Amino acid sequence: MVIQDTLFVLWLLAAGPLWAALGMFLLPSVNQGKAEKDQISTTTLRIAGVVAGFALGPIGVGLFYFEPALIRRTTLTAGIILTVFVSSQVLVRIINPDLPSGLWLILAGPLWAALAAYFLPRQYRAVEANDQNVLTAAALGGFAIGPLIFGLMWKNTPKISRDWMIVLGSLGAWQIYTLFAIHNATNPCVAAPFHITYLTQQTANGIVIGAIYSLMAVGLTLIYSVQGIVSFAHGQLYMVGGYFSFYFLLHGSNVLSELTGAEISINPIWGIPVAAVIVFIMGAVFERIFLKPMHEGLIERVSEYAILITFGFGFFIEYTTLAIAGPFPQRADRFIEIRRFQLAKTQITEEFAFGPINIIGDRAFTMVVGIVLIFALLYFLQRTWTGRALRATSQDRQAAAVTGINPTNMNTLSFGLGSMLAAMSGAALIPIFAWVPWVGAEMVGRSYVIVVLGGLGSVPGALLGGIIVGIVEALGAGCHPDPSRGAAYKEAFALVIFALVLLLKPTGLFGREQT
C-alpha cells in the first residue's frame, strides 16, 4: 500500500477511523445525568459517534456531543451517506486496483442478494415474525454483506426498520462505487483530484432537473390518490400548458407593445398561472363529462375505460395542438438574463481544487419555482379544509362522504389540480426546452417511474422520487464507463430504478399498502 495522496493523509489525521472510535466511545456519555425519558438509545449514540467521527472528525463528534438534539434520522442518514462516500474514496486509494471483482461476486453481490431474498422472507413467515420490508432488506443485505445477512436476520428475525434499509443500501452503493472505481480508474467520477467537483456537478445537475420532474409527477400522483386511475393524458396536458404559456406571452407582449408603443416582453413566469387556470378548467370539464360516469357506476369495465378515455383525451390534445400550432419547435424567452450561475474554482490544497460548478440560470430558476409550487400544494393539502377533504377522499370515499365531503366534487378537483400541475410544469419548462406537440411523451414516461418510486399517491414521495431519478440519470450518463453509451442509456437508468422498486418495494418510498 503506497499512500501518495496528501489529502488522504490529512483525512486520516483529521477524521477517519481514529475519530470514529473516539466518537463511538464518547457519545453515549451525553445520556449521563438525564432523566430516562430524555435519554437517547445507546446504539443510536454509538452509530452517531462513528458516523460523525469518521466523516467529520472532531467537528462532527463535537456537534453531536454538545447538541444531542441534532442526532436525528436525517442527520444520521446524511452522515452515513457521507461516511460511505469518504470510505469508498479511501478504499479506492488503498485497495490494489487489480483485485478481481470476482471475489466480490463470490462473497456478496447479486448471487447472495437472490438467495437472501428467496430464503429470509420464508423464515420470517415460518416463525410468524413481522415480515414487512424483509424482502427488500434481505436483497440489499445479501448484495452488500453476502452470507452475513443470514447471520443477522435468520435466527432473531429482527423488525426491519427504515434505518436497516439505509445502512444496507448505503453499504451496497459503497461497494458498487468502490468496485467501479477499481475497474475504471480514469473515469471522471473517480479519477482524483477532479472527481469531487465532477460528482458535485452531476449531482447538482440531477437535483435541478429532478425537482422539475417532480412537479409533473406530483399531478399524476394526486389524480391517482383520489381517483385511483392513472391519467394517460398527463404528458399532453404538460405539453399544452407550455403552449398556452407560449401563446399568452407572444400575443400578450404584442398587445402590450402596440398599446404602449414600446417593445415589451412579458416574463415567462406570468405564463405559468395562465396555463394553470386554462388547463385546470380543461381537466375539470373533462372529468365531469367523461370520468364522472365511471364513478357513478354507469361504466362496466372501469379500469379499461379510464385508460382508454384518458388516452383518447391525450391524443385529442396532441393532434389538435399539432393542427393549430404546427410541428415547428417553439421556445419562450428566458426567465432570467443570467445564462448560468457559476461557483468559481477554489484551490483547497496544492493538489486539490474544487469547482467550477455550473448551473444554467433558467434551470435554477425553474427548480425554485417547482419546489415552491410543490410546497404550496403540500400546504394546501395539509392545512386547508379542501385539501384535507381531498386527502380524506383518497383514504376512504365513503367515510369522507359521511362527514359531508362531496366525493364527486373532490374527483373533479383532483383531476383539475393534477392537470393544472402538469400544465404548470410545462409552462415552467418551455423557456428551457424546444417545444413541439409530442414533447410530453418522454416526460410522462419518467413521471410514471417517479410516482412508483415515491409511492403512488404520495406528494413528498413524488418530490423525492423526482430528485432521485434526476440524480440517477445524471450520474448514470456522466459516470458510465463508455461515454459513447452513457448518454444513450440515460432514460434506461431511471427504468432500472423502476424495475428495482417494483421488485423490492412495490409500494415505493412513501406509498401505502393497498387494503
Partner 1 sequence: MNRKTLFVYLGTLLAMIALIPVGMVQADGHCEFADEAITIGALVPLSAPGSVEGGIAMQWAIEHAASGINADCGIQINGGNYRLEIVVGDSEGSPERGQAAVERLILEDNVDAVVGVYHSAVGLATMTMLDDNGIPTVFSEPWNDNVSANGIIEYEGKPPRIEDGIDHIFRISPASSMVGPVVVNWLLSLGVENVVLIAENTDYGQPAAADETARLEAAGVNVEKLDVELGTEDFVPILSRIQASPETPDAVRLLVTGETSLNLTQQMAELGIAPTGDTICVTNQYAFNSDTYWGTVPDGNYCAFNRVGIIPSLFNDLGTELNAAFEEAWGKLVPSYAMASYDAVHIIANAMEQAGSYSDAATIVAAIEATDLELSQGRYYFDYGSHNPDLPEGTPAFMWHQWPDPIVTVMQYFEQDQSALNAAVVYPEVYQTHGSSYIVPGTSP
Query: Where do contacts with partner 1 occur on this chain (CB under 8 A)?
Result: 188, 194, 198, 201-202, 205-206, 209, 322, 326-331, 334, 339-340, 358, 360, 363, 433-434, 436-439, 441-443, 473-478, 483-488, 490-491
Q: Where are the alpha helices (DSSP H) in 154-194?
A: 162-183
Q: Which is nearer to partner 1, 305 or 352 (CB)?
A: 352
Q: Least Å distance between CB 451 and partner 1? A: 19
CB atoms within 10 A of CB 406: 13
Q: Is the Cβ–Cβ distance between 282 and 406 less than 8 Å?
A: no
Q: Is the Cβ–Cβ distance between 271 and 332 less than 8 Å?
A: yes
Q: Least Å distance between CB 322 and partner 1? A: 7
Q: Which is nearer to partner 1, 142 or 440 (CB)?
A: 440
How does 12-29 read in b/e, with b if 16+ C-beta sit within 10 Å? Answer: eeebbeebbebbbebbbe
- State the cell numbers at 388: 384535507
Identify the burial level of 250 via C-beta atoms within 10 angstroms of its C-beta, where 0-12 means exposed, 13-18 middle and 19 or more buried. middle
Q: Which is nearer to partner 1, 405 or 450 (CB)?
A: 450
Give me the residue label for grid cell 428467496.
Answer: 118
Q: Least Å distance between CB 364 and partner 1? A: 12
Q: Least Å distance between CB 486 and partner 1? A: 6
Q: Which is nearer to partner 1, 188 or 273 (CB)?
A: 188
Q: Of the candidates 136, 210, 105, which has an alpha carbon nearest to the alpha carbon of residue 470?
A: 210
Q: Which is nearer to partner 1, 387 or 486 (CB)?
A: 486
- State the cell numbers at 37: 425519558
Q: Which is nearer to partner 1, 376 or 496 (CB)?
A: 496
Which residues, at least 6 apart from 188, have a Cβ–Cβ distance to it below 8 Å?
194, 195, 198, 478, 479
Please give the angle made by the CA atoms of 395, 398 and 404, to the nearest 5 degrees: 100
Q: Least Å distance between CB 197 and partner 1? A: 8
Q: Which is nearer to partner 1, 153 or 240 (CB)?
A: 240
Indicate left, alpha or beta for 261 from its phi (over 0: left) and psi (-120 to 50: alpha).
left
Q: Least Å distance between CB 72 and partner 1? A: 32
Q: Least Å distance between CB 170 and partner 1? A: 23
Please give the angle made by the CA atoms of 413, 416 and 421, to the nearest 5 degrees: 120
